Every structure is written in C-alpha cells, then in structure tokens.
Amino acid sequence: MTRAFLVVLDSVGIGGAPDAADFFNGSLPDTGANTLLHIAQACAAGRAEDGRSGPLRLPVLDALGLGAAIRLASGADAPGLGAMPQGLWGAATEASPGKDTPTGHWELAGVPLSRAWHYFPDTQPAFPADLSAAVARAAGTGGILGDCHASGTEIVTRLGPAHLRTGWPICYTSADSVFQIAAHEAAFGLDRLLRLCADVAPMLHDMGVGRVIARPFVGEPGAFMRTANRRDFAAPPPAPTLCDWVQDAGRAVHAVGKIGDIFSMLGISDVVKGSDAALMDHLDALVERAGDGSLTFANLVEFDSLYGHRRDVSGYARHLEWADARLGALIARLRPGDLLLITADHGNDPTWPGTDHTRERVPVLGAGLGAGLGARAVGQVGFADVAASVAAHLGVPAQGPGKSFL
C-alpha cells in the first residue's frame, strides 16, 4: 500500500489566472500579479538583499519543474528558474469565486465553491449593528472595539490600551471573508476568547462569512505581541472532501498546520501546529512513521502571513530558499511508492500594491513513486484534479469534478 503527502505552500502563486481582472487589491485588479516571477525578478535585480543575496535559488523545486510551471501558467521566464523538469509538473487554475485560504484548500480537496463568500464593506462601522450587538452580548461586554478593516498588528497596537481599560473585544475584518476577534490572553482570557469565537461562529457562517479567527495577544501598551494560540473557526465544507474520502476508506489523515481548522476537523485523524520550521519537523517525522495508505496534508502558512501580506520580498525569498532545502531533504527520505505533491492555494505577490491575496494559478509539482515520477508534464489542470489524483494514488473512491492526472 502507498502513502500520499500533500504540501500547500500558502500563497506561492505563479500568475496567469484567466479571471484575475475580476479580483482586486483595493481598486487595482490582480491582472499581472505573479508571486514567484516577481520575487525572482527582484532577487535577480538585487532588490531582495535583506538576510540573503543574489538570484533566487530553488534547486529542488526548479528541478521538479517550478520554472516550467511558471512559463506554462503565465508565459514568463523567471530568472534563475530554468532547469529541465525531472518530476511531475503543471499549473492549476482555481474555479471557485474566491482567493482566500478555505476556498483554495477546499477546491484542492475536491470541493469547489459555487457561490462567493460574504465580505464586509471597507467602511466604519464595517459590521451590521445587530452583529456587533450580538458579539458584545456573547462576550458579556457593553460593546466592541474596532468594527473596521485593519491590519491585526496595527489594530492591537492602536486599540490594545482601550481593550485593557474597557474589557471590550477588538473586532475587525480584511479583504477576506473573515471576522477576527483580538483579546489579551491574561486580561480577557484565552479560554474566554476561544469560547466567544466558537459561540458567534455559527451566526457568522450563516451570513456566508468563511472564518471567525481568535487573535490572542500579550504584553503591555507599546509592547503588545500576538501569540501562537490563534485559532480559526471555519465554516464546514459544503460536501465531503479528500480528507473524508480517505478517512471513510479506513485510512489515517494527518493534518499539519492549520489544515484541521480549515476543514473544521472533518475527515481529520490528528493535527499538529506550530511555526513553519516546527511543521517541517513534523513532516519529517510523518515521513518516518505515517502508516500505509495514509494522507498527510500540510499547510506552510508563513509565506503568506509573514511575508506576502507584509509585502516583504526579501523575507519571502528567504523562506522559499529555506523551504526548498527542507523539501529536498524530505524527498530523499520518501519510501518506495510514496507520492509527494507540492502546490499552493492562491497568490500573495509581495511586489503588488495593497496587502490582499492575489488571484493566480498555482504550481503542481510531484516527486516519489519509487524510482521517481520522471519528467511528466501534466499541463493545465484544475485545483480539484489534485484531490482526484491523490485519491487515485491511494486507491480510494473520489467524488466531485476532479480528474486524476496520474
């Protein structure tokens, strides 16, 4: 029996989405956004020298076919990424009307969305009065703070003192379909914050909001810091996903990172969380211990959370080069018959105006299967084809519109 490892490099897009003009950062459409191409160009031009230097170096991913995937997706040659592909490679196009994390992951797991999420307007207040009142009642407070679009770090710095003084939760949103609640772990209480998010999540999901996110922080005014105890309360997928297909066949599904939150723990056997470095350690451990027929589904989020949204080109490039080396070591330890697929859920071009995700195609790179997949071009595929291919590899029945490219 074989095993499958599906690794999502969060936001590592490769441009070329045919409907990019329908998606925006502020008033600017995403037409022309290309996360990997623009990072490679910045590196080659000497504009990404903070903590690293020179052209973008991704020998492992490029040998699998990353540069070829960029050319396939967008027609552009990325500097330094010109290797002859030695693995499975292609580019995937998203069908769902969204460029957010749940939408991308659900479609990668075989379930495209047929309708768009609800998004809050970039006004102040951003939330309907009855929603704000309901959140305050659930929190047991006289009101909420924030009620606007904001950066999480900025709003905690700005409203943290008022939060400590009043005890009111800080509520904010973004260009994503999300309702975020920030609170001080000691003054408000972490358990209380998580309970508040769990209590209001069903109401927000009924409105069509994709996620309620608990954003705990610690510290004093002038020195607040978010903690690693974030938790996402995502709406459940509208149909069984790849995780359910595998689990229903009696197999284990190991979630690495925020996969458990994204899928509301449906079809998930166990979950580990942490920094990307810790998650890569967990991936290494699962290569050693995951059982026959299992699926390991991982999300490495820091490309997106630390570098894409913050428009940090050097940081993004550093993280890509770090991941490339770690993935190379992981590939070398795969068992005969294992399949590793590496992909992404959307783009987040750090050279692009604004701070939102960017609508892009994503790479599909594969390694494993004994002596290797060989140089296999799968061409332009759909996100849902990733799920169908993993299911075919594991020999479990697939549902949904995807078709296996194996």
| Residues in the annotated binding site | 10, 304, 309, 345-346, 357
CA dist 67 and 192 (Å) reads 47
- 9, two tokens: 């490099």
Going by DSSP bridges, is the β-strand pair 225-226/24-25 parallel, antiparallel, or unpaired?
Answer: unpaired
Give the residues across from 186 on adjacent strands: none
Site of tokens 């799920």: 387
Cβ proximity of 338 and 368 under 8 Å? yes
Is residue 371 within 8 Å of residue 75, measured between CB atoms?
no
Residue 370: both structure tokens together: 């004994």
Residue 307's CB is within 10 A of a number of other CB atoms, namely: 22
Q: Which amino acid is at 203?
A: M
Residues 36, 52: Cα–Cα separation, whole Å: 16
How many whole angstroms separate alpha carbon 110 and alpha carbon 245? 10
Copy the structure tokens of residue 169. Answer: 């939760």
Nearest to 41 by CA among 91, 68, 81, 12: 81
Annotated binding-site positions for Mn(2+): 10, 304, 309, 345-346, 357
- Asked whether the beta carbons of 14 and 36 are under 8 A apart, the reply is yes
